[in-house]
Amino acid sequence: MIIRMNSRYFTTIIIIAVLGVLGAPGLRAQETLEVSHQTKLGIPPTPITISGFSGEVASVLKFDLTVMGFISVPAGSANYELSGNNAGNVTGQLDLVGDASQSRAGGAINTSGPRSVLFSRSYQGGSLRAQAHRLADDVVLKITGVNGIAEVNGQISKIAFKAENNTGGEIYVADFDGHNPMPATQDHSIVAAPCWVPGHFALYYTSYKLGPPCVFYQDLRTGTRRNFANYPGLIGSAAVSPDGRKVAMILGKGGSVNLYVGDADGGDVKQLTFTTEDNSSPCWSPDGQWICFASKVNERRALSKVPAEGGAMERIPTGGVSNPSEPDWSPDGKMIAFTSQYLGGFNICVVPAEGGIATPLVSGEDPSWSPNSRTLVYVRRGSGGNRTLSLLDVPTKQVKDVPRVSGSSNSQPSWAR
Amino acid sequence: MKNMKSKTLFNLIALSAALAISAIGCRHTPQKTSTIYGTAHPVNPNAMPIDNSQPMPNPNGNGIITTPAGGGPLPAGGFAGWAANSDILADQTIHFDYDKSAIKAHEQPKLDAVADYLKNHAGIAVRVEGNCDERGTEEYNRSLGERRALAARERLVQAGVDPSRLDIITYGKDKPVDPGHDESAFAKNRRDDFVVLTPPGQ
């Protein structure tokens, strides 16, 4: 078989091997940054055929692969073939047929040429959903060299969000695809802006349970929580630093609305901005050096950043779109996703982290990056005014709604990192 | 750097070899079993009292520079347990232009009326509640509502009201008075409401 292998096929294998090495955990970030994927926008999805699976497993595979840049096509029309079954446990095999180099770039599908097995494996333990998510991530890692979004640290990736109905709002936690929603609060009061503690099953969020807005810290494993910061005026938009040691937030206590940063236990709070304008929605650069937030510069709304240790505020240009807010810095450091607004309409946009020309992607608000910096969870407004969470594969702009918590409007998603 | 490259090259060759070998031998046989660890975490929504025993962070701690603003810093303490009446000053609700927190000139008489009410009723306090229309994102509006409340507070302080008798809160766009989606609804929702607070036992 090796002898009959043509040179094109061999090239493909080498590319996969390179990506496999660079995507492997444990390598230093420097190496990954040199060669790993640049986020390219506007690329077509990669065709794949999916066969042999049924029911929930089939729908999970199709959903996951769609929001990770693939499109499910009829048999014989793709270079990648995922086959298997879910009798008892999930078993899957990924085959490469012919030369996929054109199809991944959106060109013609050439399925002539040898067939090879990229992997073949079975899964055990957990739910069938969890097994299907793992298989989807394995497919994505094998083909793209980049980790998928379905799992983080061996667990199904989680989102937190706000669910509102007539009796008030509650914070919910669910799988990233909206399944297994579980209420984290039952306070029937205004809640807002949940934010994960990186690497922990814990949240900060704004609550009006005590009357004025407060930020609560809640350990989701034990259900215990505490009032994180107790000041007069607005306390909101808590954002935890990548190392978990600092929390940025918006406070009104000084008589104006400004950005502050404090220790994770609420102590040693420093004021970082000194404006009399609006400031909102802080987020951290992945190296922990900067805090980006929505601000106003010369009466116009803008994204700005300030050193987390304190220092001069710098504008992050977002050319081509107006009224940016709700920034979220991608975990790989390259992009900032945000919401632009023109009259009453909101768009999800991305801009290089250093600023530049912004790219509007879809209609929606409040984006939050997946841990692999490829997919966004955001809010889509339905025709009835109810809001639904959706997943957006940024490079291909493919979108899938996630199920809404029954009878409610869902918003302010935060993807666990 | 050089070392890294040669390591990578070595890994690459090794992996290519491994891949080529595996491609020969394992066409339809699952070669690897992947174990999924437990995925269900308990999320406990019950029995979660708020622990207020946390010491309150020192508001004058390291690095604090107080922004000079018209109304000055907000007093600590709050008005927990005070009875709230939103009817008494309902006629004094003031409205704002889109995306603005500046008090419009024709609203000043209402603020004077609120200040007079405070002067004539010793012991009570007033909470200024800032609100926004639904345009603008949620946390942006939470900040904008705070600025609207602070703007009215500033005028009340200028009119001679003791800052310790004023509370503020922002609801952002969470508490519209008109649920409509047109400019007439928006105009009503961009507002400061004034709520009379009475201390416990009065």
The interface predicted TM-score of the complex, written ipTM, equals 0.85
Mutation choice for B interface testing from A34, A121, A271, A278 by most B CBs within 10 A: A278
Task: Say what the pLDDT of residue B93 is.
Answer: 98
What's the distance, CA A251 to chain centroid? 26
pLDDT, mean over chain B: 76
Q: Collect all residues of chain B within an 8 Å Cβ-Cβ radius of residue A270.
A: 62-64
Q: Which residue from B57, B136, B171 is facing A341, i.e. has the nearest CB?
A: B136
Q: What is the mean pLDDT of residues A301-324?
A: 96
Query: Min CA distance, A334 vs chain B (Å)?
Result: 23
B-chain residue closest to A186, CA distance: B45
pLDDT exceeding 70 applies to what percent of chain B? 63
- B/e letters for A315-327, b = 16+ CB within 10 Å, e = fewer, are ebebeebebbbbb
Contacts of A67 (CB under 8 A, 6+ apart): A149, A375, A391, A392, A393, A398, A399, A400
- Chain-chain contact of B50 with A346 (C-beta, under 8 angstroms): no
Other Cβ atoms less than 10 A from the Cβ of A101: the count is: 14
Q: Which residue from B29, B57, B143 is facing A257, i.e. has the nearest CB?
A: B143
**pLDDT tier at A39, thresholds 50, 70, 90:** low
Query: Min CA distance, A158 vs chain B (Å)?
Result: 10
Confidence check: pLDDT of A397 > 50: yes
Query: Min CA distance, B160 vs chain A (Å)?
Result: 17
Tokens representing A318 are 């977002």
Q: Report the SS3 class of residue A138.
A: helix
pLDDT, mean over chain A: 87
- Chain-chain contact of B140 with A343 (C-beta, under 8 angstroms): no
Q: Collect all residues of chain A within an 8 Å Cβ-Cβ radius of residue B125.
A: none
Confidence check: pLDDT of B66 > 80: no
Contact A65, A140 (CB under 8 A): yes
Confidence check: pLDDT of B149 > 90: yes
pLDDT exceeding 90 applies to what percent of chain A? 69
Q: Collect all residues of chain B within an 8 Å Cβ-Cβ radius of residue A310.
A: 63
DSSP of B25-50: H-SSS--EEEEPPP-PPP---SS--E
Confidence check: pLDDT of A88 > 50: yes
Contact B190, B133 (CB under 8 A): yes
Q: Collect all residues of chain A within an 8 Å Cβ-Cβ radius of residue B50.
A: 209-210, 216, 225-227
Confidence check: pLDDT of A257 > 80: yes
Task: Say what the pLDDT of residue B32 is.
Answer: 65
Q: Which residue from A20, A117, A193 is facing B27, i.e. has the nearest CB?
A: A117
Q: Report the SS3 class of residue B128.
A: strand
Confidence check: pLDDT of A263 > 70: yes
Task: Say what the pLDDT of residue A137 is.
Answer: 96
pLDDT tens digits, one per residue of A40-55: 788 899 999 999 999 9
Q: Collect all residues of chain A within an 8 Å Cβ-Cβ radius of residue B136.
A: 325, 341
Task: Say what the pLDDT of residue B77 is.
Answer: 66
More confident residue, A149 or B10: A149
Strands A314-316 and A318-319 turn out to be unpaired
Give the largest Cα separation in chain B, rounded.
92
Axis crossing angle, helix A55-66 with helix A128-144, rounded to the nearest 10:
30
More confident residue, A273 or B38: A273
Provide the whole-model pTM. 0.83
Q: In whole angstroms, what is the distance from residue A334 CA to residue A332 CA?
A: 6
Task: Say what the pLDDT of residue A271 is.
Answer: 96
More confident residue, A21 or A128: A128
Q: What is the mean pLDDT of residues A109-124?
A: 90
A-chain residue closest to B75, CA distance: A232
Contacts of A287 (CB under 8 A, 6+ apart): A242, A333
Q: Collect all residues of chain A within an 8 Å Cβ-Cβ radius of residue B75.
A: 232
Contact A30, A22 (CB under 8 A): no
Task: Say what the pLDDT of residue A406 is.
Answer: 82
DSSP of A291-350: EEEEEEETTEEEEEEEETT----EEE-EET--S-EEEEE-TTSSEEEEEEEETTEEEEEE
Q: In whole angstroms, what is the distance from residue A133 CA to residue A143 CA?
A: 16
